[in-house]
Amino acid sequence: MLFSQLNYFVAVAQERHFARAAERCHISQPALSSAIAKLERELNVTLINRGRSFEGLTPAGERLAVWAKRILAEHDAFKAEAQAVQSGLTGTLRLGAVPTASTTASLVLSSFCSAHPMAKVQISSRLPATELYRRLQEFEVDAAIVHPVPQHNQDIALLPLYEERYVLLSRPEMLLPGATTLGWPDAAQLPLALLTGDMRDRQVIDAVFEERGITVSPQVETDSVASLFAQVASGNWATIVPHTWLWMTSARGEAQVVELIDPILKAPIMLATKATEPGTPLVRALVASAQQLALDDFFDAQLRSIVRRR
């Protein structure tokens, strides 16, 4: 059994199409099919249901796909380890982040990239937490900045990074003069633009309203926090966002920031990695950098500064 055979098989399992898998692996389709057929003969099992085209994996193929991804990931980790010993940390770290953490990823990466200038980072930031957990388990990303889930897989290690606190942004004329805080029932009375219902932050916000018997029906919903800031800038809507976005936007223009209270809602954000040891050098270095951060202090200071200015 060769690593190339496993790589070809994983490509077919993920692409679910022989021609696309061959193109991805930079070989001809006959060569790819021949390599997988040889793998089946070596293992004495049928891995792929074949008709005129790909018709899915067999049960044995489904199991091999899980093992093959793990074997290939461990192989890549070993090569990276050997390379790091010779010439320092190189390669590409694949980092996922839920949309509301897309800007804080730069803070997490700052010391990592400074310490390892030859390493590169590829960020995916428009995926929900459930998809990021899946990609992490399938070795499609190396780490992810996510909300914790109630039943996360034991194969996942979680490192606390910071806690999101929720604030309301609106034009000043929508609020009482000099207001620095607002209750959730009062926020529900404003014309709101909010994140879409499939996003974890929106679900957290909805849960607070529901506990008070309030159902919110925003006129505008979006999967982009940047879009929410634009809706507020237009003057027609208020919005609720994590305070972790304020350091970058500085609540510029005419937008006013008030803290939402009763309750002061906090949602933890974690750095998720595979729990397998020893892990890749890139992931170990990222975790080591993240453990030195004090992001809660940074974000809280930004919030206090903005609210005082108002």
Q: Average pLDDT, stretch 287-304?
A: 90
**Which of 221, 212, 163 shows the shortest CA–CA distance to 187?**
212
Which of the residue ranges 61-65, 83-87, 113-117 would you say has the lowest mean pLDDT? 83-87
Local confidence band at 83 (pLDDT 50, 70, 90 cut-offs): low
Rounded CA separation 156/273 (Å)? 6
Is residue 86 predicted with pLDDT exceeding 60?
Answer: no
**Which of 93, 222, 78 shows the shortest CA–CA distance to 145?**
93
pLDDT digits (tens, 9 = 90+) for 174-201: 988 888 899 999 999 999 999 999 888 8
Could you tell me if 287 and 273 are in contact, meaning their C-beta atoms sit under 8 angstroms apart? yes
pLDDT value of position 182 = 94
Length of the chain: 310
pLDDT value of position 76 = 74
pLDDT value of position 118 = 86
What are the structural domains of the chain? Answer: 3-71 (1.10.10.10), 86-162+268-309 (3.40.190.10), 163-266 (3.40.190.290)
pLDDT value of position 198 = 85
Q: Residue 69 in 3-state DSSP?
A: helix
Local confidence band at 310 (pLDDT 50, 70, 90 cut-offs): low
Rounded CA separation 209/265 (Å)? 11
pLDDT digits (tens, 9 = 90+) for 8-64: 888 888 888 888 988 899 899 889 888 888 888 888 888 888 877 788 888 888 888
Q: What is the mean pLDDT of the chain?
A: 86
* Contacts (Cβ under 8 Å, ≥6 apart) of 6: 39, 68, 71, 72
Which of the residue ranges 14-23, 152-161, 214-223 would you say has the lowest mean pLDDT? 152-161
Higher pLDDT, 191 or 138: 191
Burial category of 136 from C-beta neighbours within 10 Å (exposed 0-12, middle 13-18, buried 19 and up) = buried
Q: Residue 20 in 3-state DSSP?
A: helix
What is the per-residue burial (b if ≥16 Cβ within 10 Å, else e) of 108-135? bbebbbeebeebebebbbebbbebbbeb
pLDDT value of position 84 = 59
pLDDT value of position 62 = 87
